[in-house]
């Protein structure tokens, strides 16, 4: 059994109780994580608070340490990636890419030049806008990209001068605990504490008096609970809550030319991506060609255990999510959708589900209206693109979207009608980079991560003014 410690005040800490971690490729326990006690949570919060005083003062030191942290993550990359594949299910190559992306985020925030914001500097006075750190940040992360999504919080929060207590999902605690061990070799004690536990630990973090900010990535219902919990103490929140992201194909697109990109935008990480394409809108004139091009790829993609050589898609991460996907596809078929590829579980142990393309899908069925977060993609036929835009903008989610056309000006006109955080043309998710803001409209969240804008979310604004004596 793999057992990893928490990191509290720079020390490796075990707990009396542990909880099991399942390998989704087998459905069996392979590891254990500490179940953080009330006293250990208090220690983590206290150590983050104590570390804040010194950490906030020296920006050059922070930048240097984030650079060292990136080196440490790269050096420990194989260990972290191996744990990630075992607990999350993704192909080992994808796990490696995820860990390297985390190191790249550290480098980006180490190198980011913060612009001076001097509003006035003349004979009548001086006025500057400063950005001050908030204090202790409580960070709570999900199971789809545990390492990268933790780093979207760690790197900007620490660069801005905050300290942190981080809790990964109970489905995928181990890679994050390993990351905590690795970063403890570089960072001063207390700057980054990593604790693990079940969902109630997350709730206790959000009502704890020490954190001044909660940075959360996860489901919309939990995001709403966190917003409510934060309100009493007016803690700041950034919430990244998933989406139901449409890909809108215009009638001058070439289905064969776009099919590979479109398929992987929907199925990478087995569809367990907040910004994955979750529904495809295709015009009647191209509908059959789009469905067939996607189905052909779904039938031939290699599904297997993440550690197996050549695997392109792994299992679904956990049993509740697997059951949800099974239920959504069954519901869609009862509502008149047709299987163009897949449509059933795979005949092997673990949480494997065939990559599934659903034709004859329509708005109003659950798999089109809700976030499926799994390897099943509905394709919906449309006649008038304005109807599609209306349906997308009226829905509760607004994270990302894409428009596909051989005429980019035309695609741009359609794209700018969409109310969502990012929209891409002839690509999907191409704006997910360390230097661009990422966040959603409506139920997809509050605030943004990444770039200078993400860093500002970990700060409070202060005006320093010096009027000239008169």
Q: How far is the CB of 114 from ligand TXE (least distance, A)?
A: 28
- Cross-strand partners of 422: 400
Q: Is 219 in the site for ligand TXE (CB under 6 A)?
A: yes
List the catalytic residue out of 240, 371, 392, 449: 240
Give the interface segment with ligand TXE, choosing from 40-48, 196-204, 308-316, 450-458 (CB under 6 A): 196-204
Q: Which is nearer to ligand TXE, 405 or 450 (CB)?
A: 450
Q: What whole-number distance in Å separates Cα of residue 26 and Cα of residue 349?
A: 6
Q: Choose, by CB under 6 A, the member of 7, 40, 176, 206 that binds ligand TXE.
A: 206
Kindly state the DSSP code that residue 457 receives in the 8-state scheme.
T
CB 259 within 8 A of CB 292: no
Q: How far is the CB of 321 from ligand TXE (least distance, A)?
A: 5
Q: Is 274 in the site for ligand TXE (CB under 6 A)?
A: yes
Q: Choose, by CB under 6 A, the member of 52, 105, 108, 143 that binds ligand TXE.
A: 143
CA-based angle 244:280:284, to the nearest 5?
Answer: 145
Q: What whole-number distance in Å separates Cα of residue 161 and Cα of residue 192?
A: 12
Active site residue 296: no
Size, binding site for ligand TXE by CB under 6 A: 26
Q: Which is nearer to ligand TXE, 99 or 276 (CB)?
A: 276
Per-residue mark of binding to ligand TXE, 302-341 (x: CB under 6 A):
-------------------x--x-----------------
Q: Return the biggest CA–CA distance within the chain.
A: 83
Active site residue 274: yes
Q: Is 401 in the site for ligand TXE (CB under 6 A)?
A: no
Q: Is 202 in the site for ligand TXE (CB under 6 A)?
A: yes
Q: Which is nearer to ligand TXE, 54 or 228 (CB)?
A: 228
Q: How far is the CB of 203 from ligand TXE (least distance, A)?
A: 4
* Cβ within 8 Å of residue 363, ≥6 positions away: 369, 380, 391
Question: Which residue matches tokens 């929209």?
Answer: 423
| 3-class SS of residue 152 | helix
Q: How are beta strands 376-382 and 356-361 bridged, if at all?
A: parallel
Q: Is 429 in the site for ligand TXE (CB under 6 A)?
A: no
Question: Which residue matches tokens 């900010």?
Answer: 213
Q: Is 87 in the site for ligand TXE (CB under 6 A)?
A: no
Give the interface segment with ligand TXE, choosing from 112-120, 215-223, 409-417, 429-437 (CB under 6 A): 215-223
Give the CB-nearest residue to ligand TXE.
202
CB 307 within 8 A of CB 86: yes
CB 139 within 8 A of CB 460: no
Could you tell me where the DSSP H helices lie in 235-362?
Answer: 255-267, 287-300, 319-334
Tokens of 34: 């500490």
Q: What whole-number distance in Å separates Cα of residue 460 and Cα of residue 391?
A: 37
Q: Which is nearer to ligand TXE, 282 or 432 (CB)?
A: 432
* Cβ within 8 Å of residue 371, ≥6 positions away: 220, 242, 243, 244, 278, 397
Classify residue 63 as left (phi > 0), alpha (psi -120 to 50) or beta. alpha
Q: How far is the CB of 116 from ligand TXE (least distance, A)?
A: 34
Give the interface segment with ligand TXE, choosing from 219-227, 278-286, 326-334, 457-465 (CB under 6 A): 219-227
Q: How far is the CB of 392 from ligand TXE (least distance, A)?
A: 18
List the catalytic residue out of 36, 274, 392, 420: 274
Active site residues: 240, 274
Binding site for ligand TXE (CB under 6 A): 140-144, 167, 169-170, 199, 202-203, 206, 217-219, 222, 225-226, 240-242, 274, 321, 324, 371, 373
């Amino acid at each position: 059994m793999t057992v990893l410690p928490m990191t509290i005040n720079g020390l490796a800490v075990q707990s009396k109780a542990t909880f099991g971690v399942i390998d989704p490729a087998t459905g069996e326990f392979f590891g254990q994580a500490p179940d953080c006690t009330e006293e250990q949570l208090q220690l983590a919060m206290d150590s983050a608070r104590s570390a804040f005083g010194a950490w906030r003062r020296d920006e050059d030191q922070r930048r240097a340490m984030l650079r060292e942290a990136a080196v440490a993550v790269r050096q420990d990359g194989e260990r972290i990636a191996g744990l990630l594949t075992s607990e999350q299910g993704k192909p080992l190559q994808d796990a490696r890419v995820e860990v390297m992306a985390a190191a790249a985020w550290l480098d980006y925030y180490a190198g980011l030049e913060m612009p001076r914001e001097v509003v006035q500097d003349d004979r009548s006075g001086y006025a500057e806008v400063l950005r001050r750190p908030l204090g202790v940040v409580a960070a709570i992360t999900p199971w789809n990209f545990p390492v990268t999504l933790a780093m979207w919080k760690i790197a900007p929060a620490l660069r801005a001068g905050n300290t942190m207590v981080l809790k990964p999902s109970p489905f995928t605690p181990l890679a994050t605990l390993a990351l905590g061990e690795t970063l403890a070799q570089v960072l001063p004690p207390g700057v980054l504490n990593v604790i693990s536990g079940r969902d109630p630990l997350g709730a206790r973090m959000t009502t704890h008096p020490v954190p001044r900010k909660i940075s959360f990535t996860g489901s919309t219902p939990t995001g709403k609970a966190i917003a409510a919990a934060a309100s009493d103490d007016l803690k700041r929140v950034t919430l990244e809550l998933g989406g139901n992201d449409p890909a809108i194909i215009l009638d001058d697109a070439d289905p064969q030319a776009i099919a590979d990109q479109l398929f992987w935008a929907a199925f990478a990480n087995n569809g367990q991506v907040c910004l994955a394409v979750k529904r495809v809108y295709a015009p009647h004139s191209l509908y059959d060609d789009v469905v067939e091009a996607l189905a052909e790829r779904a039938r031939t993609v290699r599904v297997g255990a993440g550690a197996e050589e050549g695997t392109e898609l792994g299992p679904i991460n956990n049993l509740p999510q697997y059951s949800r996907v099974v239920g959504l596809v069954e519901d869609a078929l009862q509502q008149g959708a047709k299987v163009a590829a897949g449509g059933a579980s795979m005949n092997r142990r673990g949480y494997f589900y065939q990559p599934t393309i659903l034709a004859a899908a329509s708005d109003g069925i659950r798999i089109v209206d809700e976030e499926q977060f799994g390897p099943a993609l509905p394709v919906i036929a449309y006649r008038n693109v304005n109807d599609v835009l209306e349906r997308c903008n009226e829905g509760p989610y607004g994270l990302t979207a894409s428009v596909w056309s051989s005429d980019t000006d035309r695609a741009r006109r359609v794209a700018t009608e969409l109310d969502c955080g990012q929209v891409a043309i002839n690509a999907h998710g191409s704006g997910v980079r360390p230097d661009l803001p990422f966040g959603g409209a409506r139920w997809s969240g509050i605030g943004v991560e990444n770039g200078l804008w993400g860093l500002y979310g970990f700060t409070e604004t202060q005006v320093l003014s010096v009027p000239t004596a008169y």
